[in-house]
Amino acid sequence: MPESNVIVITGTRKGIGQYLAQYYVEKGHCVVGCSREPAGYDLEGYSHYTLDVSNERDVVKMFSDVRKRFGAIYGLVNNAGIASMNHSLLTPLKTVQRIFDTNVMGTFLFCREAAKLMRPAKCGRIINFATVATPFKLEGEAAYASSKAAVVSLTEILAREYAEYGITVNAVGPTPVQTDLIRSVPKDKMSRLIDRQAIKRFGEFRDVSNAVDFFLNPQSDFVTGQVIYLGGA
């Protein structure tokens, strides 16, 4: 068994992140979460940092604090993410920047700082968040899908860089799950998207935690650099 049971999860205020925070606390983990706004809920075994995942100084400070409180961490789930559905001709550069800041820079920073706390124990699990929008090459999601393509590339390369430290790096690529993230996507567009999946239904929170469980499992120490797309994308 790993020495530490601490899991850091980003974007835990709502949506999939909130579910995962509660799910892993229930499984007996110590969960450290974060989001730009306060969590709005209290749980024993859960602590929250209010920060933007792309703010280097705040992220470094958070991990310094986590190191002083817990010493080591076992898992990192890079769930925080934002999307924007818009034709590229109508997308301001600022939007693209925001998306890349959260999805790519945030993921990079958290991987880097978490790996530092996993390395001494030669044991760690990093799970990043991809999306089926990337393999589906969805029109209207150029910025979002390409930011997640970058996350996949990061996952594959960090898997190699961190392998000698006993840290695995993998990604889960959910299908649409009913959260605020996709609230603004028109219904017909959503059903056309779901039609492209092998299994034609919305994803549920438990579908996501099931894949995260697999990567987090101490026995998954020979699985790295992989992306599991849900729904048969």
Partner 1 sequence: MRDRILEAIFRAIDDANDSFAPADRLAKSAETVLYGPGGNLDSLGLVTLVLSVEREVDDEFGTPVSLADEKAMSQKTSPFRNVGTLADYIEVLLTENANA
Partners of 6 in the beta sheet?
30
Distance of CA 57 to the CA centre of its chain: 20
For the window 11-50, what string marks contact with ligand NAP as x by the rule CB under 6 A? xxxxxxx----------------xxxx-------------
Rounded to 10 degrees, the C-alpha dihedral 98/12/54/29 comes to -150
Stretch that binds ligand NAP, among 80-88, 108-116, 135-143, 221-229 (CB under 6 A): 80-88
Q: How many CB atoms lie within 10 A of CB 161?
A: 12
Instruction: Tell me the residue ranges of DSSP E strands in 16-122.
Output: 30-35, 46-50, 75-78
Nearest to 183 by CA among 61, 96, 83: 83
Where in 173-202 is the site for ligand NAP (CB under 6 A)?
A: 174, 176-177, 179-182
| Identity of the residue, 31 or 181, whose beta carbon is nearer to ligand NAP in the bound complex | 181
35 binds, among partner 1, ligand NAP, none (CB under 5 to 8 A by kind): ligand NAP
Number of residues interacting with ligand NAP: please give it, by CB under 6 A: 31
Check residue 75 for interaction with ligand NAP (CB under 6 A).
no
Write out the residues near ligand NAP by the rule CB under 6 A: 10-17, 34-37, 52-54, 79-83, 102, 106, 129, 131, 174, 176-177, 179-182
